[in-house]
Amino acid sequence: MGEMVGDDGADIIGQANQGVGVLNDDPTQRLSAGGDHDFAELTHAQTVIAADPQAQPHPIAFNQLHCAETLELIAGFAPMRRDHVDGTIAGTQSDMAEMFRRQTGGLSKDSGSQLVTGRQVDEQPDVAGRDRREVAHGGRTVAGLSAWTRGRGQWCRPPPCRSGVETDNKHMRYHFSGIAGAGMNPLARLMAAWGHDVQGSDRSLDQGHNTEIATRLQAAGITLLPQDGAAVTASLDRFIYSAAVEADTPEMAAARMLGIPMAARPSLLAEVVNQGAPGVAIAGTSGKSSVTALIARILRQAGRDHTLLGGAALVGEGTAGGFHPGASGGAVIAEACESDGTLIGYHPTIGLVHNITRDHSELEPLRQQFRTFAQQCGTLVINADCAEAAALTNKTCFSYGAEGACDAPYEVIAIGPRRALGVLRLPGDVEVTIDCAHPGRHSVQNAAAAACVAHLLGVAPATIAQGIASYLGIARRFEVLGTTDTQIRVVDDFAHNADKIRAAISAAQAGCERLIAVFLPHGYAPARFLRAELRAVVPTLLRPQDQFAYGPIYFAGGTVAQDISSADLAADIGCYAAVDKDALIAWLCDTAVPGDTILIMGARDPGLSALARQVFALV
């Protein structure tokens, strides 16, 4: 989803002060804990925790330890001392362990058991010699295979292991707190589509915003209520909350007081994926929203029923996130984001790691999280061109890449100007034509990744090619708004780190003689975190005739230090910096000439799409 919507945009000072680490829920905002806290402080705290159990990290940083061994690390921690940021007491060993369990939605890890969402799984060999899971639910045990088997070209499994999503087909009553968020509203609509009673609240709806999302929710039979706590009653079976909803809201307090089972949004998403038949989780620092949507488009082309839970809406399908409801117990295709530390809760049939780069945190915490995710996949699909992804291991791996040896090599034939072309060679020397509606080398790579997953799902090569060719894209991923009467093309893009900026600029340059690229940093903490990298990378991307500018830094509220500006970033590379959006629009109108392409990049700010459209109307 290209825009930040709903409660997912809130600053999370309340939870931070209570020692509960949180991250923004919306994929456009999965950038920093507690709204806009300091990245350097977070990543430093991660390193300190790992190196010195006696150290004193900020409580928010705790949930950034992205690894299944976190609970084991906790056992060695000394009680936390007084927090050095806000003076609160962060808690004891047991408090911190409970904090981790709460943020991950009740994940548990015991000797001899695997880490799963809200349930304990004991591995036992069955009579056929295959691994078998005994899953305990409500005093009963359900047997299921630990991995899917593929035979005669189709996926098959024993009776599914139920989770809280659909325990014994029980009809449940859900409340979604922060329901308008891009990650929340698709899950709410899915639970309604699967026959559960669903209600929800969001302060943005109380304020009269996000009317399109409200309409979609109500059309799905979901009751929308004020976020004042009155909607939370003992009649509810589950309370699902956005990570952007503060711990001290009336709703959160009421749910705790009534003892209603509570789960964070990522936990419910992992449950849905883990019970999928099959469940497919798409991970990686960049491109996962596009790959997820591409897989869903291919399955739609093949006439395969599936559930889609993606990070962005398909072009032309509004602002309510990537969503398509399939049958309960059927195939699930979902984007699994690393920014909130919850990759460790996924046990997908097929898991894909597209790439791993420095984005939401430093590399080492990301490596820990992705290693755990990789080991928990039935089949792991990896991008052989990314050294970090290629280093991951699993008993069953499938690789794709343009360089070196891999299971499915692809070749980039053209990167533009309007479409990218390539060819993928699947095992058995079967070729799949890659004809992408978007330019750029990364577009071919995204399509190759999606094609490999579709191949593993048994989709015919010709159908895969047709699905890729008919894919029109998703919101704010190189979304071409059009070409003006003055022959100036305007493109709206989600790029917000060095790698994504590189990909977007390269794709835009393939279709223009001169590029005017603008980046609006998505917060003060990210601006500090990315400054050195942007200083080094941006000048190498531009041709002599190209122009680059920084827009104003987005401020979501909160207590973050506003000690860096766009002018500081611009001074690093000698470019223009706009003090506000009006100044940016005026500069673009004065600078652009016929034949130029204007590329507007950024994330998190809910007004970026409107800004791009305003520019398109004025240049």
Of 167-171, 307-311, 322-326, 560-564, least confident by mean pLDDT is: 167-171
DSSP string, 109-159: --TTEE-BSSS-EEEEE-TTS-EEEEEEETTEEEEEESS-EEETTEEE-SS
Q: How far apart are alpha carbons 184 and 176 in whole angstroms?
A: 7
Q: In this predicted structure, what is the pLDDT of residue 319?
A: 57
What is the H or E stretch that residue 481 is in? strand 479-483
Distance (Å, rounded) from C-alpha 217 to C-alpha 210? 11
Q: Higher model confidence: residue 334 or residue 29?
A: 334
Domains of the chain, each with CATH number or no CATH? 120-156 (no CATH), 281-469 (3.40.1190.10), 479-618 (3.90.190.20)
pLDDT at 191 over 70: yes
* pLDDT at residue 260 tops 90: yes
Provide the token pair at 574: 């000698």
Gap between the Cα atoms of 292 and 7, Å rounded? 24
pLDDT of residue 24: 33
Distances (CA, A) of 587 to 538, 578, 612, 616: 20, 8, 14, 13
In percent, the amount of the chain with pLDDT more than 70 equals 71
Residue 391 has pLDDT above 90, yes or no: yes
Band of pLDDT at residue 204, cut at 50, 70 and 90: confident
The model's confidence at residue 315, banded by pLDDT at 50, 70 and 90, is confident
Q: What is the pLDDT of residue 558?
A: 66
Position 53 confidence tier, pLDDT thresholds 50, 70, 90: very low
The model's pLDDT over 395-443, given as tens digits with 9 standing for 90+, comes to: 999 999 998 799 999 999 999 888 999 999 999 999 999 999 999 999 9
What is the Cα–Cα distance from 287 to 303, expressed in whole angstroms? 24
Q: What's the half-sphere exposure (Cβ side, CA atoms, 13 Å) at 303?
A: 1
Residue 585's pLDDT band (boundaries 50, 70, 90)?
Answer: very high
CA distance 214 to 311: 18
Q: What share of the chain is helix, strand, coil (3-state, %, to 5)?
A: 35, 20, 45
Contact 186, 178 (CB under 8 A): no
Give tens-digit pLDDT for 81-132.
223 222 222 333 333 334 334 444 443 333 232 222 333 333 333 323 333 3
Q: What average pLDDT score do residues 431-459 get? A: 96
CB atoms within 10 A of CB 138: 8
Lowest mean pLDDT among 24-28, 180-184, 548-552: 24-28
- If you search the block for the tokens 């890659």, which residue do you land on? 434
Closest CA to 16 of 37, 31, 30, 46: 37
Residue range 50-64: mean pLDDT, rounded: 33
The Cα-based distances of 448 to 292, 419, 420, 425, 436 in angstroms read: 12, 15, 12, 9, 10
pLDDT of residue 126: 33
Confidence of residue 257 (pLDDT cuts 50, 70, 90): very high
pTM of the model: 0.71
> Is pLDDT of 338 > 90?
no
Instruction: Of 253, 254, 249, give the one whose Cα is nearest residue 232.
Output: 254
Q: Does 154 have pLDDT greater than 80?
A: no
The segment with the largest mean pLDDT, out of 7-21, 112-126, 233-247, 561-575, is: 561-575
Tokens of 112: 């001899």
Stretch among 205-209, 232-236, 252-256 having the lowest mean pLDDT:
205-209
Residue 74 has pLDDT above 50, yes or no: no
